[in-house]
């Protein structure tokens, strides 16, 4: 696809592997950070067309009394049904890609770091100059998700929708290991940032 930015890096990894922490370290090094999940949650899921489509398909029970979307209920629904998940992605992904295009075009001289949980699952490699995967030990991954309030059963259900971490690491241009301290991860990010920016 055509793009005008000079460097666009796609960051992925499994849930609970530390993508956001790594992205923060890239931002410290001057990368312009774009969190795809945050765009979906804060911008796309508040879009009136998207909200109406969700209400039409799933009903009023997906919304609180004040009209707020119940993301927990929506998540339970779509992660339990492949067809519902595919439908929701059809509503969100084209809008997300349009958002990326506008962001890149608006700041063409920036070095971009884009967090994309399903980068390889959705075949999005061609959007990026380089891809980076953050990985960790599977037990540690589940413990981190539990600390975030995601029960192990739900975590496993969601992880089952993603490519195995080992496969993501094979596909990525670079791999960051997040089994140690935050400083250990920061050192790896700094070394990679030096390489990419120079």
Per-residue pLDDT at 62: 95
Per-residue pLDDT at 153: 74
Instruction: Give the pLDDT confidence of 135-158 residue by residue, as tens digits.
Output: 987 676 667 777 777 777 777 777
Instruction: Give the pLDDT confidence of 52-77 residue by residue, as tens digits.
Output: 999 999 999 999 999 999 998 998 89
Question: Total domain count for the chain?
Answer: 1
1 falls within a domain: no
What residue spans of the chain are helical by DSSP H?
19-28, 36-42, 48-58, 71-79, 82-106, 138-147, 152-159, 165-171, 182-197
Mean pLDDT lowest among 29-43, 133-147, 169-183: 133-147
Per-residue pLDDT at 3: 39
pTM: 0.86
Instruction: Give the pLDDT confidence of 1-31 residue by residue, as tens digits.
Output: 433 448 999 999 988 788 999 999 999 999 9
Per-residue pLDDT at 142: 67
**Residue 193: pLDDT over 80:** yes
74 falls within a domain: yes
Over range 33-42, report the average pLDDT.
95
Residue labelled with tokens 């192990």: 152
How many other CB atoms are found less than 10 A from the CB of residue 57? 13
2 falls within a domain: no
182 falls within a domain: yes
**Which residue range(s) make up the domain with 16?**
7-197
Per-residue pLDDT at 4: 41
Instruction: Give the pLDDT confidence of 99-130 residue by residue, as tens digits.
Output: 999 999 999 889 999 999 999 999 999 999 99
Give the residues across from 114 on adjacent strands.
Answer: 10, 34
CATH number of the domain that 26 lies in?
A: 3.40.50.300
**Residue 169: pLDDT over 80:** yes
28 falls within a domain: yes
Per-residue pLDDT at 154: 74
Q: How many residues does the chain have?
A: 198
Per-residue pLDDT at 185: 94
């Amino acid at each position: 696809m055509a793009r005008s930015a000079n460097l666009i890096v796609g960051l992925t990894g499994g849930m609970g592997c530390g993508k956001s922490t790594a992205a923060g370290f890239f931002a410290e090094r001057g990368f312009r950070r774009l969190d795809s999940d945050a765009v979906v949650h804060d911008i796309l899921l508040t879009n009136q067309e998207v909200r109406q489509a969700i209400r039409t398909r799933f009903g009023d029970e997906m919304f609180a009394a004040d009209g707020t979307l119940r993301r927990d209920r929506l998540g339970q629904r779509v992660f339990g049904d492949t067809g519902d998940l595919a439908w929701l992605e059809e509503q969100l992904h084209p809008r997300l890609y349009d958002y990326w295009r506008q962001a890149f075009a608006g700041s063409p001289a920036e070095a971009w770091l884009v967090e994309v949980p399903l980068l390889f699952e959705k075949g999005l490699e061609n959007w990026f100059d380089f891809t980076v995967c953050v990985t960790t030990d599977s037990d540690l991954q589940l413990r981190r998700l539990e600390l975030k309030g995601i029960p192990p059963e739900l975590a496993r259900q969601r992880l089952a929708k993603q490519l195995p971490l080992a496969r993501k690491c094979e596909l990525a241009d670079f791999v960051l290991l997040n089994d140690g301290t935050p400083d250990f991860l920061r050192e790896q990010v700094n070394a990679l940032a030096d390489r990419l920016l120079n």
